[in-house]
Amino acid sequence: MNAYGRLLSSNTGKLCWNFFYHDCLLFYSYCFLYICLKNINHTYSIMADLNLFAGEIAGVIFKLIYFGAIIGTITVVILDNRNPVKTMAWILILMFLPLVGLVFYFFFGRSTRRERIISKKTYNRLMKKPIAEYLAQENSSYPQTYVRLIELFKETNQALPFEGNRMEIFTEGYAKLQALIQQLYRAKHHIHMEYYIIEDDAVGRLIRDVLIDKAREGVEVRVVYDDVGCWHVPGSFFEEMKNAGIEVRAFLKVRFPLFTSKVNYRNHRKIVVIDGRIGFVGGMNLAERYLRGFAWGEWRDTHIMIEGKAVHGLQTAFLLDWYFVDSTLITSSRYFPRIESCGDSMAQIVTSDPIGPWKEIMQGLVMAISQAQKYFYIQTPYFIPDESLHEMLKIAVLSGVKVKIMIPSKPDHPFVYRATEYFAKDIVEYGAEVYMYQNGFLHSKVMVVDDEIVSVGTANMDVRSFKLNFEINAFIYDRDVAEELIANFDEDQKNCIRATHDYFAKQSKWRKFKQAFSRLLSPIL
């Protein structure tokens, strides 16, 4: 509503309003005059059949309102100055499926990129203390090899690089869950936890009980969950936590999910911060399927535990989200303790969201690809790249960089998967290697460049993650971590089939049509 208010109050909005106001009045007048002239010779019959006359008037009014809404929505889409491809996708939907298009645009199409949910003044107040604590850390100069990428994140995301971190990588759910529980029980001061999904199952209840135990010991516990990701979780699950003294908040709570556009902007982050010293981030939510997988295979994912100064980046991200859901500023230095060097990894914690001016994670990936000299490896469950990212991948392949992309062989969202297949087929034509994971569902979000730059986090390589979701990735500059993830990639490759030109050529025409159609709508998926 605020966005529409600002639009109407702006000069452009006023101009558009006057245009539609006067033209609609004129159009109504012409239609009324047309009806009167058409029926002038049938005055007596019109008087005799008022229902027919009223029906005609009602029909004309309905058409005016209906087509006015379509035209108005198309105008709003054009004035939004978004990507032309995305604009055309919405215009095509509104033209050929007007009623469905209106509903979909109302729920999923409106851009929030220019909205500021957190005021600039409040944001600066919130960031003042974390930045001071960042700057107080003893971090040395960073290698010149990564200077452009690091400076990009510093400029757009205020993500400062920190050395002296220890990274532990988890590729299966049991190991990650075991490490998480161990660290939770060691908490002395606070636990901050944020997940897209917290299921009311064995895993969710286990973590809930651990948090309750720690809260009863006097540890501060704050939990943020995504309201849409946890739609089906009963309220009693979180009420039990609240009754034990845990502060629990839902992110962008949706009371009427079918009647709000907030359903489209979700917090996809997975963050755990323990005493400001230990942090977790990656692709795994709190649910049994992340441990047991499915009947047809395992759930293959990647998560990392960070010990060191980079945890301050996770803390800052959580506290920003906490302010978002609770309107409470938490900036005490107790949440940003001084940390001695724990390892050899340098890292930046980078966030992205649908309300800021930048698409930080996507822009970072584009720059990382541009810096690649030898290879660029990607694991992602969905491969629907932005146009700029897609072009950069093509350029990398054509310039001699080995590009390997690993995607699932089985879809969890069929419509999205067809778009993934389309882009995979397209990049194969340029010479990239695409592998399809066969041993279950690949949910890992990993990027490795030249044994030097690594990204692990929550962002998929698709438009939704880049532009609609609240996401978080750790960008790590460490050869040992890169080599470990490459070894994991090579091991996963043993459970893959390679999607070659012949593989796609043998697919049915109907499947190719679904891929092409899904690609047409990929900007709004």
Residue ranges of alpha helices (H) inside 137-196 are 147-157, 173-185
Residue of 445, 462, 467, 514 marked active site: 445
Residue of 443, 462, 492, 514 marked active site: 443
Query: Is there a catalytic annotation at residue 303?
Result: no
Contact between 455 and 474 under an 8 Å Cβ cutoff? The reply is: yes
Spatial separation of the C-alpha atoms in residues 429 and 131, rounded to whole Å: 46
Residue of 200, 201, 450, 451 marked active site: 450
Tokens of residue 275, six digits: 């005493």
DSSP helix/strand/coil, 41: helix
Query: Is there a catalytic annotation at residue 120?
Result: no
Spatial separation of the C-alpha atoms in residues 47 and 76, rounded to whole Å: 42
Contacts of 337 (CB under 8 A, 6+ apart): 275, 276, 277
Query: Is there a catalytic annotation at residue 443?
Result: yes
Query: Is there a catalytic annotation at residue 514?
Result: no
Residue of 80, 226, 227, 275 marked active site: 275
Query: Is there a catalytic annotation at residue 23?
Result: no
Own/partner pairs for 102-111, CB < 8 Å, 24+ apart? Answer: 102/69, 102/70, 102/73, 105/73, 105/77, 106/261, 107/260, 107/261, 107/263, 107/264, 108/261, 108/263, 108/264, 108/524, 109/77, 109/524, 110/3, 110/261, 111/80, 111/82, 111/354
Query: Is there a catalytic annotation at residue 462?
Result: no
DSSP helix/strand/coil, 336: coil
SS3 content of the chain, % helix, strand, coil (to 5): 55, 20, 30
Residues annotated as catalytic are 268, 270, 275, 443, 445, 450
